Chains A and B, each alone.
Chain A
Amino acid sequence: MPASKNVGIVIVSHSAKVAEGAADMVRQMVGDNVPLAAAGGNAEGGLGTDVAAIMAAIDKAWSEAGVAILVDLGGAETNSEMAVEMMPEERRERIVICNAPIVEGAVMAATEASGGSSLAVVQATAEELMSA
């Protein structure tokens, strides 16, 4: 399969069910022309987030256009930042963590990405949810 031209979306939640459920919503509402991956739960299968799993999700959703990450509570954000830090240098600047609610943000970011928008525009669309 050729690499997608569209920005990829990664969903990171403390709960595997939340992450997978949000990814399901994206697939059903937006379609499958956006690279998409979810990482939820810690390495032991409990609630939490796992840097290695987040890195694997970024790899899976990787696009030359970049990847936008949606996160839930605190640790999801810090572990996502750590995962980004551990990615190859040439990829790091093409990965952003969106300041947006995880489910709505994922759907909005994916909708924007499905039209071929740039990473900056995809991030701005997700973050627009936080403005009035």
Chain B
Amino acid sequence: MQEVTASALLTNKIGLHARPSVKLTQTAKRFGSRIEVATSAAGPWTDAKSPVKIMRVKAAKGDVLHFKASGEDASAALAALVDIVARKFDEE
């Protein structure tokens, strides 16, 4: 299965704190593909469907979130994740 990648700049004030983390994992969980997140293109990579692990990433405003996904709905998953980051998790 082809792996697809995408990235998005975190611009919301609080970065990837609790509530945005929950929204990010909830978005990732809607898709069947394996999805990972990192704050550097070189990793380390974190399972985007694990709320505990995502919260531990502690990404801040100005960080770039890198996504990679593999699976049948990988492209749609990354589009949804990039979109929710761009929308500042609908909080601002």
Binding site for B on A (CB under 8 A): 28-31, 107-108, 111-112, 114-117, 125, 128-129
Contacts and interface: CB of A to CB of B under 8 A. Distances in A.
Given A128-B50, A129-B52, A107 B29 contact: no
10 A-B pairs with least C-beta separation: A115-B29, A111-B51, A128-B52, A29-B22, A111-B22, A108-B51, A29-B19, A108-B52, A129-B52, A111-B25
A107 B21 CA distance: 11
A117 to B, nearest CB: 8
A115 B54 CA distance: 15
B11 interface: no
Contact of A112 (B19, B30, B51): B51
B50 A107 contact: no
Interface in B41-71: 49-53
B18 interface: yes
Size category of the B interface is 10 to 19
B18 A114 contact: no
Interface of B: 18-19, 22, 25-26, 29-30, 49-53
Given A111-B26, A115-B30, A125 B18 contact: no
A115 B28 CA distance: 9
B26 A114 contact: yes
Contact of A115 (B18, B19, B26, B52): B26
B52 A30 contact: no
Contacts of A128: 50, 52-53
A128 B51 CA distance: 10
Given A115-B29, A115-B30, A129-B52, 7 more contacts: A29-B18, A107-B22, A107-B51, A111-B22, A115-B49, A125-B50, A125-B51
